[in-house]
Amino acid sequence: MNVLIRLTRHRSARVGLVCLALIFGMAAFAPWLAPEGYDDQDLMIRLQPPSSEHPLGTDQLGRQLTSRIIWGARISLQIAFLATGIGLVIGSALGLTAGFYGGKLDRFIMGLMDVLLAFPGILLALAVVAVLGPGLYNVMIAVGISGIPRFARLVRGSTLSVREKEYIEAQHALGARDLGILIKHILPNIIGPIIVLATLRVGTSIMQAAGVSFLGLGAQPPLPDWGGMVSQGRHLLRSEWWVGIFPGVAILICVFGFNLLGDGVRDALDPRVRIAKKGQGPKEEAATPS
């Protein structure tokens, strides 16, 4: 509860929450907020500039950009949460196993994770899409896979520091099963850093997925994927700039919101920040969502 209070008092987190409220609101109330469906075409009003009639303008098929961006929030959040979820679940399971059992299994799992980490995030996602083929769900899987080693590394480190504690030894002595110890006793004690990474990874996932879509390998038209919309607008940039620029603003607000929230969650969960605020010097780490 204290954490939630600290989070709502955190200035950056509050700004982040406002940004995210906007995006989540768009996703939840799209049918009511969007003036039209995301693929409602009217060639008579193609490429209209922003005006009171067409707030963010129209694209080359006469579709309202306002509607497409609002509907697009659903796709972006879907990609973000599913992709982060894949990384979180598989990465945490691997990290817990490696950290808890140690030995050869640890070396094998972490060796595999080191190999995955040798690929820059976007490149790994592209390699996976090259195998699976373009498409919305394949992008989610691709971005999710690129998140696995980051979660695995973090969870393994935290597990290593917790598994030697006396309360874990006590569980072993009581004859508890390994799975029970992992889920009931280790996981709750290392959940803080996992939440922080997950919050920051959501922003990264949105950005990576948008990058893959921009390259034409993500969600296929007519789905209103923000990255794909920027890509469709780039060839019209000289004269009809709004087609490519406004969907990018939506990506920016969304990722910005998650990054600010991630900073806030990290500070709220980190006791060192509270000590720092009491006069021992401020403490801030850099979020590196790439």
Give the footprint of another protein on this chain (CB under 8 A): 111-112, 114-116, 118-123, 126-127, 129-131, 133, 203, 207, 210-211, 214-217, 227, 230-231, 233-234, 237-238, 241, 244-245, 248, 251-252, 255-256, 259-260, 263, 280-290
Closest CB 44 distance from another protein, rounded Å: 27
Residue 20 region by backbone torsions, left for phi larger than 0, else alpha for psi between -120 and 50, else beta: alpha
Closest CB 52 distance from another protein, rounded Å: 23
Closest CB 59 distance from another protein, rounded Å: 15
Which residue in this structure is represented by tokens 């004269």?
239
Between CA 94 and CA 156 the distance in angstroms is 8
Roughly how many angstroms between the first and final C-alpha of the chain, as a whole number?
Answer: 31
Closest CB 35 distance from another protein, rounded Å: 24
Q: Which is nearer to another protein, 73 or 186 (CB)?
A: 73
Closest CB 40 distance from another protein, rounded Å: 25
Please check whether residue 217 is in contact with residue 129, taking contact to mean a CB–CB distance below 8 angstroms. Answer: yes
Q: Which is nearer to another protein, 116 or 194 (CB)?
A: 116
Please check whether residue 99 is in contact with residue 160, taking contact to mean a CB–CB distance below 8 angstroms. Answer: yes
Between CA 145 and CA 91 the distance in angstroms is 9
Closest CB 117 distance from another protein, rounded Å: 8
Between CA 274 and CA 238 the distance in angstroms is 50
- Assigned token pair, 261: 């929230």
Q: Which is nearer to another protein, 271 or 281 (CB)?
A: 281
Closest CB 284 distance from another protein, rounded Å: 5
Closest CB 254 distance from another protein, rounded Å: 8
Q: Which is nearer to another protein, 130 or 179 (CB)?
A: 130
Alpha carbon distances (Å) from 200 to 27, 66, 234, 262:
20, 27, 28, 5
Please check whether residue 134 is in contact with residue 166, taking contact to mean a CB–CB distance below 8 angstroms. Answer: no
Q: Which residues make beta-bridge pairs with 64?
A: 58
Alpha carbon distances (Å) from 222 to 42, 134, 136, 229, 289:
14, 14, 12, 9, 29
Rounded to the nearest 5°, which phi and psi values hold at 286?
-85, 130
Q: Which is nearer to another protein, 148 or 210 (CB)?
A: 210
Q: Which is nearer to another protein, 122 or 196 (CB)?
A: 122
Q: Which is nearer to another protein, 144 or 182 (CB)?
A: 144
Q: Which is nearer to another protein, 89 or 123 (CB)?
A: 123
- Assigned token pair, 123: 């490149």
